[in-house]
Structure 1
Amino acid sequence: MTSKTNPGNFFEDFTVGQVLQHATPRTVTEGDRAVYGSLYPTRFAVPSSAAFAASVGLDPHPVEELIAFHIAFGKTVPDVSLNAIANLGYAECRFHQPVVPGDTLSTTSEVIGLKQNSNGKSGVVYVRSTATNQRGEVALDWARWVMVHKRVSTGSTAGDDGAPEAVVPDLAPAVAAADLVLPAGLDFSSYDFAAAGEPHRFDDYEVGEKIDHVDGVTLTDSEHQQATRLWQNTAKVHFNVQARPDGTRLVYGGHVISLARALSFNGLANAQLIAAINAGAHTAPAFGGDTIYAWSEVLEKAETSIPSVGALRLRLVATKDRDESMTLRDAETGKYAPGVLLDLDYWALIPR
C-alpha cells in the first residue's frame, strides 16, 4: 500500500543548511483579531482601537504582533515539529514591520543546528524561520529549537551510532536595542494615556523592578485547541491523546505566551508594541485545568531613534497558580522554581 500523506520529519530527516519552504500562505483578517481577543484577555490600545493606532502614526490598523508570530510559527509545524516531544525555546526574534489585515504571510526555515540526545531516541533541531508578506518584505524572523522523535523502523534502532555531528548555533542572548526595528510613522508625542488605561510611561519604570500582574486565567482544553487550530498548528501533542504516553493534550507554548502577554496589561498597559523576543523557554508543560498567572521584571531600558518612544526590555514569567514572591529560580539549585511555565525575555515600545 502506498501513502500520499505526510508523516512529518523525524530527527534523521534534518541536515544542517537544509531549507524548508512551508506550505499554505495565510492571509491575516479582522477575524483573526476578533478571535484572538476572544481567546486572550488582551486590552492593549494599539491593536484594540483603529483610532488610537492612527493617533500614534499606525494606519492601517495593525494586529497584535503575536498573531503574526503564531500564524508564521504554525506554518513551520508540519515540516519542523509534527513529531515533536516539546518546543524548547526561542531567540533572536525581530518584528520588522506591523502586520495588518490583508497581509499574506509565507514562511521558510533553515536548519541551523542538530544535536542527538544521549538516550538515542530523540534529538534537538535548531531552525531559523522567516515570514514574508505578499510584497516579499520580511515581517518577522526568529530562531527556535525543538526536541523531535527519531524514526523507529526496520534496520534502525533507538541507540544506533548514525547520529550526525552535533552542531549547536551560537545565538545572541538578546537583540541589541540599536537593532530594534521601529514601525514607520510611530510617534507617541500625542499619546492618550486615559484611553490606554494607565499613566505609567518610560521614566516610571526602573531596572530590577518587578510587577505582579495579579490576574489569572484558567486554561480549558476547548480554548487551547481552538487557538492552536486557529494558527493551523498541526502538532499531534496538542490534539491527540494517543500522542503522549500519559494520554494528555499538551498546551501549545505560544498559547501560554499570549495569555501571559495579555495578563501583563495590568501594570504594563503602555508597553504597546513588541519589538523583539530576545529569548524564551517553556520551562514546564501546561495542561487544561491549569490556572495561569504572570509577573514581569524590567531588565533594561533604552532610548530609541524616535524621541517620544522608549524601549523596555522585560522578563515575562508565566506561572501555574499565583506566586506572590515572584521567584524565578530556586536559590540553591538554580533550577526554575516549581510552577514556572514560561520565561520570556522581550523588548516592548512605550511612550516617554
Structure 2
Amino acid sequence: MSGTSAGKTNAGNFFEDFTVGQVIEHATPRTITEGDRALYQALYPTRFALPSSAEFARSVGLAQHPVEELIGFHVAFGKTVPDVSLNAVANLGYAECRFHQPVAPGDTLRTSSEVIGLKQNSNGKTGVVYVRSTATNQRGEVAIDWCRWVMVHKRDTDAPTPETVVPDLKDALDAQDLKIPAGLDFTAYDQAAAGEQHRLGDYEVGEKIDHVDGVTLTDPEHMLATRLWQNTAKVHFNAEARPDGNRLIYGGHVISMARALSFNGLANAQLIAAINAGAHTSPAFAGDTVYAWSEVLDKAETAAPGVGAMRLRLVATKGRDESMTLRGEDGKYADGVLLDLDYWVLVPA
C-alpha cells in the first residue's frame, strides 16, 4: 500500500532477536479493578471464600481484599507476550513462581523480563527462549516473579545458531521460600463460610482427589479472558495463525479453570503461594471439556498463626479420567492430560 510504513508496527521478536542477559521493560502498566474480580468469577467456576468475601479476608487478618492470585499472574504474564511470545509456537512451562504479596484492586502492575537461556531446536526453524519475569506494583515492590520457557519461530532460518544456555531452575521451592501475606492468621478460620472442614492434617501425602466437575471450553470465553489480560498472542485469536485453523486456548485459561474446579475437595486452599513447575502437555481447543484432579505432594507448617502449606499437583484433563493417571507405562503423559501444575497453597492448619 502506498504511503504505509512497516517500521512503525510491532511484528514481535523472533528467536534470533533474543540474547542471554537482555532485559526487556514491557509496555502498558495495568491497574487491577473490581471489574477484574467480577469477570474472573464469571469466566471460571471459582468459589474460594477469601477472594470472594471482603469480610472473610478481614477475618483472617488481611487489611485489603485481594483478588485471586491468578488474576495478578495473568495480567503480569500478558505484559510479556508482545515482546517474548508474540511469535511463539507454544508456551512450554513455568518454574520458580512466587506470589510475594496479595494483589488488590487499585494496585498497578508492570512487568520486566530478563532472558536467562536460549536453545535452538534441531529443525533450525524454532528455538526455546527462557525468561525470568518480575511484576512490581505502584510502590516498586515485587508482587510476582516467575520463570518460563517458550518455543519461538525464527524469522530467518539461516540466522546463526546462538550458544546453547539452559538455566538451572529449581524443581520445587521449599516451604521456607514461601512468602506469607502480612497479618495472615487462620486461628479463627470460619469453616462454614469456607464451605469445607478439611484442614492440613486431614490430607495425606500421596492422596489423590477427584474434583468431579467439568466445564466445556468455548471460543468466546477463552478469547474474552485472554483479551482481559491483554495477551496478544496470535494463536489465541487468529484462525489463520495455525495450519489447522483452530484458535489455541491460552494455557493460563486452563490453569484458572482447573484451579476453580479444585474447589470441590480443596475449598480451604485459600491462597496460592507459589508455582513450582508447570507444563501444558497438550493443546486445548473450544469444545474440549476440562476436568481436574489433584495429588498431595507435601505438607509443611508455616510461621503464620494457624496457617499450613500444602504442595499439590493439579492435573487438568480433556474428558474425565476416574483412574487419575498422569503418565503411561512409557513415562509419557497419558492421553488427555492438558496440564501438570505443581504448586503450593496456604490452608488452615
TM exceeds 0.5? yes
* 1:124 and 2:128 matched: yes
1:2 maps to 5
Partners of 1:299 and 1:313 within 8 A in 2: yes
CA contact (8 A) 1:296 1:316 kept: yes
Letter in 2 for 1:221: D
Q: Give 1:110's aligned amino acid.
A: E
Matched, 1:133 2:137: yes
In the alignment, what sits opposite 1:258? 256
SS of the counterpart of 2:343?
strand
Tell me how far apart the structure 2 counterparts of residues 18 and 161 of structure 1 sit (CA, whole Å): 18
The one-letter code sitting in structure 2 at the alignment partner of 1:343 is D
TM alignment of 1:1-352, pairs within 5 A: 1-3=4-6, 4-152=8-156, 158=157, 160=158, 162-331=160-329, 333-352=330-349
Secondary structure class of the residue paired with 2:130: strand
Distance 1:208 1:86 in 2: 31
Q: What are the superposed Cα offsets for residues 92-147 of structure 1, whole Å, 9 maximum, x if unpaired?
A: 00000000000000000000000000000000000000000000000000000000
Paired-residue identity, %: 81
- TM-superposed CA distance for 1:162, in Å, is 1.1
CA distance in 1, matches of 2:315, 2:172: 17
Query: Residue 2 of structure 1: CA displacement?
Result: 2.5
C-alpha contact (below 8 Å) 1:74/1:233 kept by paired residues? yes
Q: Which moved more, 1:57-66 or 1:18-27?
A: 57-66
Q: Which amino acid aligns with 2:150?
A: V
**Distance (whole Å) between structure 1 residues aligned to residue 220 and residue 177 of structure 2:** 39
Shift of 1:91: 0.1
Deviations 1:34-58 (A, max 9, x none): 0000000000000000000000011
- The alignment yields a C-alpha RMSD, in angstroms, of 0.7
For 1:343 and 1:207, how far apart are their aligned partners in 2? 17
The structure 1 segments of at least 4 consecutive aligned residues displaced by more than 2 Å after TM superposition are none
SS of the equivalent of 1:242 reads: coil
1:250–1:287 contact (8 Å) kept in structure 2: yes
SS of alignment partner, residue 66 of structure 1: helix
Contact kept, 8 Å, 1:88 with 1:281, in 2: the verdict is yes
Q: Distance in 1 between matches of 2:88 and 2:263?
A: 32
For 1:348 and 1:161, how far apart are their aligned partners in 2? 44
Distance 1:306 1:6 in 2: 47
Do the aligned residues in 1 keep the contact of 2:296 with 2:312 (CA within 8 Å)? yes
Counterpart AA for 2:139 = R
- Paired residue secondary structure (2:123): coil
> How far, CA to CA, are the matches of 1:137 and 1:12 in structure 2?
32
Partner amino acid for 1:293? Y
Output the CA distance in 2 between the equivalents of 1:237 and 1:345.
25
Q: Tell me the amino acid that sits aligned with residue 337 of structure 1.
A: A
Is the contact between residue 307 and residue 347 of structure 2 (CA under 8 Å) also seen in structure 1?
Answer: yes
User: How many angstroms apart in 1 are the aligned matches of 2:21 and 2:76?
Assistant: 20
Classify the secondary structure of the residue corresponding to 1:102: coil
8 Å CA contact 2:278–2:340 kept in 1: the answer is: yes
Q: Secondary structure at the match of 2:61?
A: coil
Could you report, residue by residue, the CA deviation over 1:234-261 in whole angstroms, capped at 9, with x for unpaired residues? 0000000110011100000000000000
Name stretches of at least 5 consecutive residues in structure 1 with no aligned partner: 153-157
User: Structure 1 305/323 Cα, relative in aligned 2: closer, same or farther at 3 Å?
Assistant: same
| Residue type at the aligned position of 2:240 | Q
Q: Report if aligned partners of 2:184, 2:305 keep a CA contact under 8 Å in 1.
A: no
Deviation for aligned residue 1:161: 6.5
- In structure 2, give the amino acid aligned to 1:195: A
SS in structure 2 of the partner of residue 37 of structure 1: helix
Moved more, 82-91 or 303-312: 303-312
CA distance in 1, matches of 2:35, 2:338: 29
DSSP-derived class of the 1:299 partner: strand
Q: Is 1:50–1:59's contact at 8 Å kept on the other side of the alignment?
A: no
Kindly tell me the number of residue pairs found equivalent between the two proteins: 345
Once the two structures are overlaid, the 10-residue window that deviates more, 267-276 or 305-314, is: 305-314
